[in-house]
A and B are shown apart, each in its own frame.
Chain A
């Protein structure tokens, strides 16, 4: 079954404490992997697209990497404003037009 699994479900960090979020996927013919950030009461906000294994993208304190089976979102020296739910999604050959989303990781960064 095609699916996307994110771990951990929730993560609590102290300000400045770096960590990584995981997104593993089991789909055939990956066409793109996407990371989104979602704040409470808001729609998801696009962060990155990764297309092939070995690719990396960076934005401020966030760095996304991709292998053939999973993606990591590395957060370096996080700040409280990085607190949000981070969603991973994939588009694949058999899924045609839709993105399959994981359930997300709720990140809380405390001062």
Chain B
């Protein structure tokens, strides 16, 4: 079956511009996560959605970052006024539930380059 789909796969933007990154989770998965992976670094948690519950936004690095999930499916991560330090691979993952027993399935990410 189809896995987690992310678009675009690559995005180059100028400093100060806004960007939107999209994630289509696996059908039927109720939990959705956004992570950021910088070169040589581990994955950094950004935000978590579970069903209709309020999202866990504890990992968002600044108020320039926001995310929404519409209809319990597609999610969009928005970065406003991008900075060079925002350059990274942004990974989306989904799981059947938000429990420990449900492993995360990742997309291939969006590589963001801020010039």
Contact = CB atoms under 8 A, between A and B. Distances in A.
B98 A32 contact: no
Interface of B: 4, 33, 35, 40-45, 48, 50, 56, 58-59, 91, 93, 98, 100-101, 103-109
A43 B45 contact: no
B106 A44 contact: yes
Given A87-B43, A102-B42, A103-B40, A46 B108 contact: no
Given A31-B100, A99-B43, 9 more contacts: A32-B101, A34-B104, A51-B100, A87-B43, A98-B45, A98-B48, A99-B33, A101-B42, A104-B42
30 contacts: A32-B100, A32-B101, A34-B103, A34-B104, A43-B4, A43-B91, A43-B106, A43-B107, A43-B108, A43-B109, A44-B43, A44-B91, A44-B106, A45-B106, A46-B105, A49-B101, A49-B103, A97-B33, A97-B98, A98-B33, A98-B56, A99-B33, A99-B43, A100-B45, A101-B35, A101-B42, A101-B43, A101-B44, A102-B42, A103-B40
Interface string A40-59: 01111110010100000000
Contacts of A43: 4, 91, 93, 106-109
Contacts, number: 59
Nearest to A104: B42
A45 B106 CA distance: 7
B100 A49 contact: yes
Contacts of A51: 100
A62 to B, nearest CB: 15
Contacts of B4: 43
